[in-house]
């Protein structure tokens, strides 16, 4: 059984999700306030996306607030993390929500490789991007591969980001 809540009065409604096929749109009427609302049953693509979101986070890119975006934390998972401006249909799986036109949709790539003793190795390369990727103030050439460490500062367009290793904790920052 799955529980959903009415968007108007927050009353809980139970239904058996196994009775419906993935991707189907269901219409409910709240028994408390008679509000009609719809939900879409998750499809296989959204289930795959959810599995990716639940994958282990080895680090995060903390993007600092500026005139183009709010502060945000981008989780870094095993494999290639394509960092870029969030645009519908982009290849970025570690997108930055920004209106900064100097950040490309595929700005840089951070490869995360788990290490046998724990932790992970972070390797940065440019996308290639139009405005370049800077590490500690130095621009990366198209073929450069650089190992990142805790606290390294990256500049992507007008955005400044700091690498943090490990999962986020409430005590930090």
Q: What is the DSSP string of 61-129?
A: EEEPP-SS---EEEEEESEEEEEEE--TT-S-SEEE----TTS-TT-EEEEEEE-TTSSEEEEEEE---
Q: pLDDT tens digit string along 93-149?
A: 999 999 999 999 999 999 999 999 888 999 999 988 999 999 999 999 989 999 999
The CATH number given to 56-165 is 2.60.200.20
pTM, entire model: 0.69
* Domain regions of the chain by residue span: 2-46, 56-165
């Amino acid at each position: 059984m799955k529980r959903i809540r009415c968007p108007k009065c927050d009353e809980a409604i139970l239904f058996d999700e196994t009775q419906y096929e993935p991707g189907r749109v269901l219409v409910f009427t709240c028994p408390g306030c008679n509000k009609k609302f719809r939900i879409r049953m998750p499809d296989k693509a959204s289930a795959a996306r959810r599995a990716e979101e639940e994958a282990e986070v080895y680090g995060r890119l903390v993007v600092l607030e500026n005139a183009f975006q709010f502060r945000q934390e981008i989780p870094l998972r095993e494999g290639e993390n394509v960092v870029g401006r969030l645009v519908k249909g982009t290849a970025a799986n570690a997108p930055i929500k920004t209106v900064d036109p100097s950040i490309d949709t595929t700005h840089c790539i951070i490869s995360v490789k788990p290490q046998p003793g724990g932790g992970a190795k972070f390797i940065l390369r440019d996308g290639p991007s139009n405005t370049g990727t800077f590490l500690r103030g130095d621009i990366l050439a198209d073929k450069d591969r650089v190992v990142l460490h805790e606290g390294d500062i990256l500049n992507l367009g007008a955005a400044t980001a700091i690498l943090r290793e490990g999962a986020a904790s409430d005590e930090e920052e």
